[in-house]
Structure 1
């Protein structure tokens, strides 16, 4: 690895600014105070505008824009100001900065700061060392030096050489190599924000776009798009552990001083010592980091839950429910993550979140409109649920809404194996099936994963989950060292898997799509045949032995529509591999294997 950054510095430095001249002042003062000299000509202010394309005002005033430019010119009189012709929003403002650095200046590396992070005098020194590694290592695209904001000075000192995955896109350096290779994915995202104000971007369409890459997320920000691009491309985003930057955005659209304090940003203690080098990851360690990031995006870590009366709800479900119930809308990205982060860290209690929303001006307006005097004449307080395919199938199968009156009785437990394989979401995205049948579901991890992907794509469909919910012979082996027997949750000798499955489905918000059929795979196939159902995709994972796997493949092949796909799991098991091979020969179709999944398409 190079010892210096002569190859990349003086790299151009972008300051992304909108309407906070006071914060910008602090950021620029800290940039001027760096131990590494900063050539003023290399510092560029990318100033967004107050008026939108049609001439209307945004959240900024002309005076605030002028004040930001004045502050910049006072600190960097020889710096370069790039005024936006109209309000671009953060995504397009970043896009023009990146294009200028990497296309116009042809820089190998660009450095990007926003107007809400004060830098330690050693920030650029640390970023130099990190950037040298990024330029030398093909698989590293982003680096930053803001570190762990909540760690103590003692921890910073003890772990001063540690490298870890980068979180927020704050104060980062980006290589031109990474910018070029992620362009196609990022450009696809920018398509959604070019013709609207960024805050009014089409969230559902963006989520559906992200789902095409196997990522189901509530987030729709430009930072998320770039994080997904890095993961898809197999590249890393790294930062150092010691904090060389302090986030100061305590006032903004989604932050209040109280919330900022609750999230511990105000307690950041900058590491005082200059970096003396970092222990950069080996090739294998880098691979592990990249794979872990991919896995996290495919199956994001969930909250342990928020205690509400005697029950616990996932923090994300709790916040989402509050927004929809109190404000009659889905949560915005920043508010959603501010509240869920605070709840998970126990910095806020549920009642604090409720008070914050109820105390907002938006709630006052919404409440006034929804009060009896403000309602539109003839509007009913409760409306009938819309007709969907899943509800129609519920009536045909059960004659009732099986979720009516059900409250989760068990804490969410999405234990599973191979449940988030990329083939599942990739094939759903490509085929857009209305009916998916999942045979052998255990606690529902694969069922829920596919249902959430269909939900993100806006598909009116259903995932039919077939299982006895009694466990398999492997689960009933009390001698297994992994104690899988205990996961049956026996009560008076009867497994609790069905109630665990229903609790998981409701907790994950996909009860409108998921229909459990508590039957053997043979009985369920007969029942579904009798209803005349045809599926666009079938996933079989009920057995590991040759005969039952072959039997399931034959039965559910008959339930597949032409052009549908049969996907099986556990191909490394000898009995499964043999059954897959024999069945492919039997139907005269090619067998495709993506371990541990195997696939046969119906002509």
Structure 2
């Protein structure tokens, strides 16, 4: 039997030109144990014209997706763009709509078509947001199992978050990061998201003291949590399924390599979560895991390439140590 209450937070759902993905996420959201409040549901369907899908010769599915969304959630706010605006602009538009329509909201949610929540997902994230409410440092909660340190995946518990899928973000953090994300948004303007200038983006964000572990939209938000001394948390077990084989950042080969977690059958128990007692440990974990990710993304590959050079191998031992330290410093700064 479904809970007669509804999910208390506004949700922004991002759909693109992938009908099967959209169908799965819409069906899953319509069958939650804590039902969606359609007056707080905002669905954005990015346009086909000018999209990467159009460039690749794929058919336009956006009209069919809009029809399905309206049939599934007839009382939601649904907008389909005629032209492709990209995920950064979609995020911005949804954020503005939710904040303007619900000025008293403490949390807002962002969901995408390539993460299919389990039936109890909204119930779990609602419980996590309520438990995190007194802890200002917790800016994001989710139940995806996508932890920042892969060693914590498929483990019961709460850990620093690694990917921003199907998550709730604290509105206070949304407001404090706004200026930085506006710079990111302006840098993105004038060209498609999939054709963004990654070097220019990295440089302009670095000039503001933001050092993401990648230049994708989600990585900017993860790095801004680090900058503002906030943390995002997720369950170690996955209460949903990432299905994004086809997309901006994934191929069938890379999808198989990542070995994303399957949905767990272990029931979630909010009684096991005590953020007041664990916040200090979570902060330390987040800093350590973030530093590890930066090293794996930037430092280690450059060091390996550097040490493979013949000129390095021919140096005396002391010179090699000094050269390694210098290369590590340059890789970071």
TM over 0.5: yes
Residues of 2 paired with 1:217 and 1:63: CA distance?
A: 33
Q: 1:407 to 1:316 in 2, by over 3 A?
A: closer
For the pair 1:87 / 2:81, whether they are aligned, the reply is no
Return the offset for 1:405: 4.6
Deviations 1:219-250 (A, max 9, x none): 21221221222111111111122210210111
1:77 equivalent to 2:74? Answer: yes
CA contact (8 A) 1:111 1:174 kept: yes
* Residues 120, 244 of structure 1: 8 Å contact kept: yes
Instruction: Select 1:290's aligned residue among 273, 278, 283.
Output: 283
Give the Cα separation in 2 of the matches to 1:213 and 1:298: 18
Residue from 46, 49, 60 that aligns with 2:47: 49
Kindly provide the CA deviation profile for residues 110-130 of structure 1, in whole angstroms up to 9, marking residues without a partner as x. 111100011111111110111
Aligned partner of 2:126 in structure 1 is: 128
The alpha-carbon distance between structure 1 residues 132 and 46, as it changes in their structure 2 partners (threshold 3 A), is: same
Going from structure 1 to structure 2, the CA distance change for 1:304 and 1:83 (only over 3 Å counts) comes to closer
Cα pair distance change 1:188/1:278, threshold 3 Å: farther
Structure 1 residue 236 corresponds to structure 2 residue 231:
yes
Q: Which residue of 2 aligns with 1:27?
A: 25
2: distance between equivalents of 1:218 and 1:231?
11
Residue 139 of structure 2 corresponds to residue 141 of structure 1: yes
Q: TM-score, normalised by structure 2?
A: 0.82
Aligned residues: 323
SS of 2:116's partner is strand
Assess, with a 3 A threshold, how the Cα gap between structure 1 residues 404 and 227 changes in structure 2: closer, same or farther. closer
Are 1:262 and 2:83 matched, yes or no? no
Q: SS at 1:131's partner residue? A: helix
**Alpha-carbon distance between aligned partners in 2 of 1:304 and 1:178, rounded to the nearest angstrom:** 26
Inter-partner Cα distance in structure 2 for 1:264 and 1:47? 28
Are 1:406 and 2:227 matched, yes or no? no
Q: Distance in 1 between matches of 2:74 and 2:44?
A: 15
8 Å Cα contact 1:210/1:216 also seen in 2: yes
Q: Would you identify which runs of 4 or more consecutive aligned residues in structure 1 move more than 6 Å?
A: 149-153
Separation of aligned partners in 2, 1:48 and 1:302: 35
Contact residue 303 and residue 316 of structure 1 kept, 8 A: no
Distance 1:58 1:286 in 2: 46
- What root-mean-square deviation, in Å, do the aligned CA atoms of Structure 1 and Structure 2 show? 3.7
CA distance in structure 1 between the aligned counterparts of 2:126 and 2:192, rounded to whole angstroms: 35
Alpha carbons of 1:186 and 1:248: their partners in 2 closer, same or farther (altered >3 Å)? same
How big is each residue's C-alpha offset from its partner over 1:344-385, in whole Å with a ceiling of 9 and x where there is no partner? xxxxxxxxxxxxxxxxxxxxxxxxxxxxxxxxxxxxxxxxxx
Identify the residue that residue 502 of structure 1 maps to in structure 2. 323
CA distance 1:32–1:212, shift in 2 (3 Å):
same
* C-alpha deviation, 1:504, in angstroms: 5.2
Distance 1:122 1:245 in 2: 9
Bigger proportion of residues as helix: 2
Check whether the contact 2:13–2:113 (CA below 8 A) recurs between aligned residues: yes
Structure 1's 23 and 201: CA in aligned 2 closer, same or farther, altered over 3 A? same
Within the candidate set 148, 165, 172, 1:170 is matched to 165
Q: CA deviation at 1:314?
A: 4.1
Q: Distance in 1 between matches of 2:99 and 2:59?
A: 30
1:77/1:27 CA distance change after superposition, 3 Å: same
TM-score (norm 1): 0.48
Query: Are the structure 2 counterparts of residues 103 and 134 from structure 1 closer, same or farther at C-alpha, using a change threshold of 3 Å?
Result: farther
Secondary structure at the aligned position of 2:20 is classed as helix
Unaligned regions of 5+ residues in structure 1, if any?
A: 1-5, 306-312, 322-402, 411-494, 515-603
How far, CA to CA, are the matches of 1:152 and 1:504 in structure 2?
Answer: 30
1:40 corresponds, among 38, 43, 46, to 38
Deviation at 1:92, TM superposition (A): 0.9
The match for 2:193 is: 198
Q: Is the 8 A contact 1:21 1:71 kept in 2?
A: no
Distance apart, 1:169 and its partner CA: 0.6
**Pairs within 5 Å for 1:464-475:** none
- Residues 211 and 58 from structure 1, CA distance in 2 versus in 1: closer, same or farther, beyond 3 angstroms? same
Deviations 1:462-510 (A, max 9, x none): xxxxxxxxxxxxxxxxxxxxxxxxxxxxxxxxx933212324556x595
2:274 — aligned with what?
A: 280
Equivalent-residue separation in structure 1 for 2:129 and 2:83 (angstroms): 33
Return closer, same or farther for 1:408/1:13 CA change in 2, 3 Å cut-off: farther
